[in-house]
Amino acid sequence: MSSIGIIVNPLSGNDRGAHIWGEVQTYLQTHQISYVAKLTTKAGEATRHAISLIQEHHVERIIIIGGDGTVHETAGGVWQLQNSLNPHPICSIAVIPAGTGNDFAKAYGIPKHSLEALEIALTTPSTVQIDLLHALPTQVAVNSIGAGFDGMVAKITNEASYKKFLNRLGLGKLSYFISILRVFATYQPSTAWLKVDGNVTELPDMWLAAVANIPFYGGAIQICPTASPTDGMADVVVIQSKGRIRLLPVLFTVYQGKHTKHPAVSFYKGKSISIQTEKPLLVQADGEFAGSTPLQIELLPAAITVIRAKPTA
Ligand SMILES: Nc1ncnc2c1ncn2[C@@H]1O[C@H](COP(=O)(O)OP(=O)(O)OP(=O)(O)O)[C@@H](O)[C@H]1O
């Protein structure tokens, strides 16, 4: 088996990461599987851990125990090295989901049960090279980057005390739903200009513009049902509405991905996307706060390798 690095965010999912790490450690020691593990102690550290695991410990796979934020940071480190002047051998990533939303794990068929997820990470039933969303100048995202409503939802959820409380009850995904209702009550839409592969569209009354690499975010919200991390294209979903009340039906259908025919919703596909707005809007990248607009995103095709469950079809 290739050499194994492990990155653990012990605080993910309100300390679920630490609990799962205990189980994983016991399993690895019992089965005499060697590894190098690094635990995060602050935001941003998973990127540095990934770089160190590859450069200094020459690992060929990194198993992430954490949520989408930790996957985001780790993928950033792996991508940086693969794009450096002296590129390193391919290092694949696998996840044992320990966060709130765990959209990345869901996209690649990884089960919630930590030892089942570990088995996939160790045995590699299948791998896939996935596209990345490169938000210039330095960020890469694995799942999605969004501006406006969802930027605000990500910020409020990550700061909310109910996220911790609901995580403790195993109801973490509900925290995104509560935040959506909170932001819905106060959000003020604005005009934006979306450029997709050179074509500019003016978007009055824009609530949300999300660039998606996988179909869902926030745990269960099927924001962009046609998005695929292997098609070499980024999908963009835009929601516009003059009034709050008219937006309600969209919010109610978006969980099932049934909002796609609603006149307030439009979709685009492309490789180079920019979003300009009349006033700076909050931006989320893989559910973490990532600054504000303007945004310039380039699609990086087949940029990193992910260990996934055996595809069913
Ligand atoms: N020890 C730490 N202390 C504080 N923040 C940390 C620490 N380790 C990691 N982080 C930050 O926490 C963020 C969120 O982590 P992560 O996504 O793993 O868990 P989560 O927020 O519970 O899950 P989700 O993203 O699915 O909601 C990461 O982006 C990272 O920057």
For ligand 1, whether the C-beta of 74 sits within 6 Å is no
Residue 189: CB within 6 Å of ligand 1?
no
Ligand 1 pocket check: which of 9, 110, 144 to mutate, most ligand atoms within 8 Å of Cβ? 9
Nearest-atom index, ligand 1, CA of 99? 23
CA atoms within 13 A on the CB side of 205: 10
Q: Does residue 219 have its Cβ closer than 6 Å to ligand 1?
A: no
Question: How far apart are the CA of 169 and the centre of ligand 1, in A?
Answer: 18
* ipTM computed for the complex: 0.94
Q: How far is the CA of 244 from the centre of ligand 1 (A)?
A: 32
Whether 76 is in the pocket of ligand 1, judged by its Cβ within 6 Å, is: no
What is the atom index within ligand 1 of the atom nearest the CA of 16?
A: 22
pLDDT of residue 246: 82
* Atom in ligand 1 nearest the alpha carbon of residue 10: 1
pLDDT at 136: 84
Run means of pLDDT, 10 residues per run, the chain, 313 residues: 90 92 97 97 96 96 97 96 82 95 94 97 97 91 94 84 71 76 89 98 96 88 92 96 84 79 92 96 92 96 96 75
Q: What is the pTM of this model?
A: 0.93
5 lines ligand 1 (CB under 6 A): no
Q: What is the 3-state secondary structure (H, E, C) of 226-262?
A: CCCCCCCCEEEEEEECCCHHHHHHHHHHHCCCCCCCC
> d(Cα 205, Cα 294) in Å, to the nearest integer?
17
Burial pattern 90-124, b for ≥16 Cβ within 10 A else e, equals ebbbbbbbbbbbbbbbbbbebeeebeebbebbbee
Burial of 263 (0-12, 13-18, 19+ CB in 10 A): exposed
Give me 229's structure tokens: 């991390």
Q: Are the beta carbons of 86 and 106 closer than 8 angstroms? A: no
The pLDDT of residue 13 is: 87
pLDDT of residue 61: 97
Mapped onto helix, strand or coil, the DSSP state of residue 43 is: coil
Q: Are 54 and 81 in contact (CB under 8 A)?
A: yes
Tokens coding 99: 């966060």
Q: Nearest C-alpha to atom 28 of ligand 1 is from which residue?
A: 69
Q: Over the range 16-26, which residues count as b (16 or more CB within 10 Å of their CB) and which as e?
A: bbbebbeebee
Please give the number of the atom of ligand 1 that sits closest to the Cα of 13.
22
Residue among 39, 62, 70 to mutate when testing ligand 1 (max atoms within 8 A of CB): 70
Query: Which residue type, as a one-letter code, is found at position 293?
Result: T
What angle in degrees, to the nearest 10, is found between the helix axes of 173-186 and 149-159? Answer: 120
- Whole-angstrom Cα distance, residue 147 to residue 117? 32
Ligand 1 contacts CB of residue 12 (under 6 A): yes
Give the pLDDT score at 172. 66
- Is the CB of 11 within 6 Å of ligand 1? yes
Which tokens belong to 113?
A: 């049960």
Q: Is 41 in the pocket of ligand 1 (CB under 6 A)?
A: yes
- Residue having the nearest C-alpha atom to atom 4 of ligand 1: 42
Predicted pLDDT of residue 120:
98
Is 17:95 a contact under the CB 8 Å cutoff? no
pLDDT of residue 183: 85
Of ligand 1's atoms, which has the minimum distance to the CA of residue 69?
17
**CA angle (148 as vertex; 257, 261 as ends), nearest 5:** 25
How long is the chain? Answer: 313
Longest dimension (CA), the chain: 61
Alpha-carbon dihedral sign for residues 11, 130, 304, 34: positive
HSE-CB at 49 with a 13 A cutoff on CA atoms is: 28
Look up residue 226 and give its amino acid: T
